């Protein structure tokens, strides 16, 4: 989301294979206190877009995102595309 924000995007679709996380972000379930800081950051970033959609996508339907996340994890946890 930060990359999208700094790139000037106004509409963002965020997909995750974590159904619990998506449900917490969209307030469909009670937020875990341990994740509250991260969820606050997500909410803050989301305010900067005209449109944001968070959706659950099973891992086998989200192979490209899984490959990018795996690559970033193997290389110090940071990945900047640009």
Domain boundaries, the chain: 2-74
Assess whether pLDDT exceeds 80 at residue 36: yes
Q: pLDDT by residue (tens digit) across 26-35?
A: 999 999 999 9
Q: pLDDT by residue (tens digit) across 38-68?
A: 999 999 999 999 999 999 988 777 777 777 7
- The CA-based diameter of the chain, rounded to the nearest angstrom, is 36
What pLDDT is recorded for position 50?
96
Picking from 14, 9, 2, the residue whose alpha carbon sits closest to that of residue 56 is 14
Q: 82: pLDDT confidence band, cut at 50, 70 and 90?
A: very low
Concatenated DSSP letters of the chain: -HHHHHTT-SEEEEEES-HHHHHHHTTSSPPPGGGHHHHHHHHHHHTTSSEEEEEE--GGG-HHHHHHHHHHHHTTT-----
């Amino acid at each position: 989301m930060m990359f999208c924000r700094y790139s000037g995007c106004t509409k963002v679709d965020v997909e995750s294979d974590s159904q619990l996380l998506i449900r917490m972000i969209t307030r469909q379930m009670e937020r875990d206190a341990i994740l509250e800081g991260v969820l606050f950051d997500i909410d803050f970033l989301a305010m900067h877009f005209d449109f944001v959609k968070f959706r659950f996508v099973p891992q086998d339907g989200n192979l490209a995102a899984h490959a990018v996340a795996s690559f970033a994890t193997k290389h110090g946890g940071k990945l900047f595309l640009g």
